[in-house]
A and B are shown apart, each in its own frame.
Chain A
Amino acid sequence: MSRNPMRKCLTFAKYCFLRQNRASQITRTLTTFSPNDGEDDRMYVDGNGQLRERKLGYDELYPGHIPTSTLQKVLLSIGSAGMSLLDPSRDDMIATLGETTGTWALRSIKEKMEADPTGQRILTEQPVINTNTVSIDYLGSLPEGTFGKKYWHFLSKNGFSPDARLPIHFVDDPELKYVMLRYRQVHDLFHSVLGMPPHMLGEVAVKWVEALQTGLPMCALGALFGPLRLGPKHTKKYLETYLPWAIRNGQNAKFLMAVYWEEHWEDDLETLRQELNIEPPPIIASKS
């Protein structure tokens, strides 16, 4: 089967994972590792005497990982695309769509990040943005006009929390998994630095920028199909102002995934935008 070449890396990755998480593993009662943990022997006999191969188990590459075959990824992509159009409240479907379709894009993002010194630092240190690493009160205490304060406004006005990002399930490479995680986490920061509110129009604009910067198919699909849901007033604004603006930003801005956002909380927002070659938002939408 096509899993054969992966076996050696699996064992090594599993070994590293085990070393890192020994303590939590020992206390975990619901283990997914077989008792006789023969790394290379995945064959066993089921209740009917049939020989079966034990598939890659849950959580083996990273906590939350669900192994999927190519067919499953295709089905998941189609299903999640359909479901996210039918039921927009299913945010996990958009996330799934991103994970299943994003392997090539994630690889190219990773390569671009490695080419940039800051990006390389991000990949090594693997910072995460949640309430443990970033204090919301600290952000609120910053002066107006700073990037951190803008982000704080974005979170508090809309009732968001940096903890609410969904875990990643279907990315099969732990390093690409971090890139995906980073993308999800800095999505809100993109909203802030671009000055786009989280309504449909703002989301579409951000998706355009992300699609041009990251190349993720999910962003491209969102950017193309999202505007179908816009009302007439917003459609006019979109076509006349936001779309050209977003495209310009996407093309001219520096590579935003390689920015170490956590070091810029105290920077003045306008200065930061100039450094990153981002045009300020069109004046109509400077609400959040």
Chain B
Amino acid sequence: MAAPLKISGFCCRNEKPLANFIYRFLSTNSATKNETRPKNESRETHFGFETVAEDEKEERVYEVFKNVAGKYDLMNDAMSFGIHRLWKDHFIHRMAPVEGTKLLDVAGGTGDIAFRFLQYIQSQNDDPIMVEESFSIPTNIEAGAYSIPSDYAEEEKIDLSGYKEDTSHVTVCDINQEMLNVGKSRAEEAGIFTGIDWVQGNAECLPFEDNSFDAYTIAYGIRNCTHVDKVLTEAFRVLKPGGRFMCLEFSQVNNLGLRRLYDSYSFEVIPVMGQVLARDWKSYQYLVESIRQFPNQKKFAAMIRQAGFGMVTYENLTFGVSAIHSGYKLLKVVK
């Protein structure tokens, strides 16, 4: 497998490097939880409808996804009656990626967005009629805005098999190794071996260089993060100028009648499905509660603007059950 981009030092000015976090997580599986945890600020946040310390939230979310990883795709299909596939298809359609795009898919776990991205690019290549004559997309350029030819490269690039400057590539980053494992096995089954990377990392502290991706997506992951603003700042950092941030997330249903229906369905039916299909009530209770805790479309758009993105828009899917937020890292940042 190709290795990720070279890391030029610690990415964020955080006191918690990733390895420390993982070690701490592994060592807090017993009753000695309290002693081994360093005394950080005891700020509190929400975990579904519970209130927990911020340190705890990450671990509990990790546990949730570790437990659901095996049946994640089945449950997605059951809970949304397969509609989540349409949402994700529409999401990639809105992104309309071109050949040569470097995508970072954060919280991409089982790879739904990554596979669709690769499929979209491939279908574009297979179907040249789709591309208008007057607007030809360069697919193999020697020099230009997208790539620096190797003769002119200043530092020696790490030789990465399958990683070329001019081909599309998606890096799937997820904090949870179980989810990544499921994604990897799905890729193997589908026969996808190149153009995709699986990296374990924290969205609040990404192990990537600044200005290194053309597009950043996070689908149904951002509401699980403890500090959404940090995730947005990191997204801004790793995107190239001109890069696009896209977020697909559950959001608020504005129609009141439908909202009641949706709430009843969420709280009554979904945990029951979780218990019957996946033997896990509490993870799915957390899921529906975390949706209610996440800011609505307008508030989230404001947060994205605050992180520095411009041209921030959102689009409701299925009356607001899901929403696509999009923003660009403008070349000239005007605050």
Point out residues on A near B: beta carbons under 8 Å: 27, 29-30, 32, 34-35, 46-48, 50, 52, 54-55, 57-58, 66, 69, 71-72, 75-76, 79-80, 82-83, 90, 92-93, 96, 169
Cα distance A80–B272 in the bound complex, in angstroms? 9
Cα distance A66–B271 in the bound complex, in angstroms? 11
Residue B71 CB within 8 A of the other chain: no
Which 4 pairs between the two chains have the least Cβ-Cβ distance?
A79-B276, A47-B293, A75-B272, A71-B268
Residue B52 CB within 8 A of the other chain: yes
Residues of A close to B50: CB separation below 8 A: 32, 57
Residues of B close to A46: CB separation below 8 A: 49, 292-293
Contact of A48 among B49, B252, B275 (CB under 8 A): B252
User: Are the CB atoms of A52 and B292 closer together than 8 Å?
Assistant: yes
Total interface residues in chain B, CB < 8 Å: 29
A197 to chain B, nearest CB (A): 28
Residue B51 CB within 8 A of the other chain: yes
Interchain residue pairs with CB less than 8 A apart (25): A27-B31, A29-B34, A29-B56, A30-B52, A32-B50, A35-B44, A46-B49, A46-B293, A47-B293, A48-B295, A52-B49, A55-B49, A58-B282, A69-B268, A71-B268, A72-B268, A79-B275, A79-B276, A83-B276, A83-B277, A92-B279, A93-B276, A96-B275, A96-B276, A169-B281
Residues of B close to A72: CB separation below 8 A: 268-269, 271-272
User: Are the CB atoms of B269 and A75 closer together than 8 Å?
Assistant: yes
Cα distance A48–B293 in the bound complex, in angstroms? 7
User: Are the CB atoms of B51 and A76 closer together than 8 Å?
Assistant: no
Residues of A close to B18: CB separation below 8 A: none
Residue B177 CB within 8 A of the other chain: no
Decide if the interface of chain A is mainly helix, strand, loop or mixed.
loop
B255 to chain A, nearest CB (A): 15
Cα distance A80–B273 in the bound complex, in angstroms? 10
Residues from 1 to 59 in B contacting A, C-beta threshold 8 Å? 31, 33-34, 44, 46, 49-52, 56
B18 to chain A, nearest CB (A): 23
Contact of A47 among B275, B279, B292 (CB under 8 A): B292
Residue B296 CB within 8 A of the other chain: yes
User: Are the CB atoms of B33 and A29 closer together than 8 Å?
Assistant: yes
Known contacts A47-B46, A169-B281, A79 near B273 by CB under 8 Å: yes
Known contacts A29-B33, A30-B56, A76 near B49 by CB under 8 Å: no
Point out residues on B near A: beta carbons under 8 Å: 31, 33-34, 44, 46, 49-52, 56, 60, 252, 268-269, 271-273, 275-277, 279, 281-282, 292-296, 299
A88 to chain B, nearest CB (A): 14
Residues of B close to A55: CB separation below 8 A: 49
In chain B, what residue has the closest Cβ to A58? B282
Q: Which of B34, B271, B272 has the most CB of A within 10 A?
A: B272
User: Are the CB atoms of B269 and A48 closer together than 8 Å?
Assistant: no
In chain B, what residue has the closest Cβ to A34? B51
A-B contacts besides A48-B292, A66-B282, A75-B268, 15 pairs, CB < 8 Å: A27-B31, A32-B50, A34-B51, A35-B51, A46-B49, A46-B293, A52-B49, A52-B292, A57-B50, A69-B268, A75-B269, A75-B272, A79-B276, A80-B276, A93-B276
A232 to chain B, nearest CB (A): 32
Residues of A close to B292: CB separation below 8 A: 46-48, 50, 52
Cα distance A52–B296 in the bound complex, in angstroms? 16
In chain A, what residue has the closest Cβ to B264? A71
Contact of B295 among A47, A57, A76 (CB under 8 A): A47
Cα distance A67–B49 in the bound complex, in angstroms? 14
Residues of A close to B60: CB separation below 8 A: 30
Known contacts A29-B34, A30-B60, A48-B252, A76 near B293 by CB under 8 Å: no
Residues of A close to B281: CB separation below 8 A: 66, 169
Residues of B close to A34: CB separation below 8 A: 51
Residues of A close to B56: CB separation below 8 A: 29-30
Cα distance A90–B277 in the bound complex, in angstroms? 10
Cα distance A96–B276 in the bound complex, in angstroms? 9
User: Are the CB atoms of A48 and B296 closer together than 8 Å?
Assistant: yes
Cα distance A90–B52 in the bound complex, in angstroms? 33
Residues of B close to A90: CB separation below 8 A: 279
Cα distance A96–B280 in the bound complex, in angstroms? 12
Residues of B close to A50: CB separation below 8 A: 292
Cα distance A281–B299 in the bound complex, in angstroms? 70
Cα distance A35–B295 in the bound complex, in angstroms? 23
In chain A, what residue has the closest Cβ to B292? A46
Cα distance A34–B293 in the bound complex, in angstroms? 16
Residues of B close to A32: CB separation below 8 A: 50
Cα distance A266–B217 in the bound complex, in angstroms? 68
Residues of B close to A82: CB separation below 8 A: 276
Contact of B49 among A54, A66, A71, A92 (CB under 8 A): A54
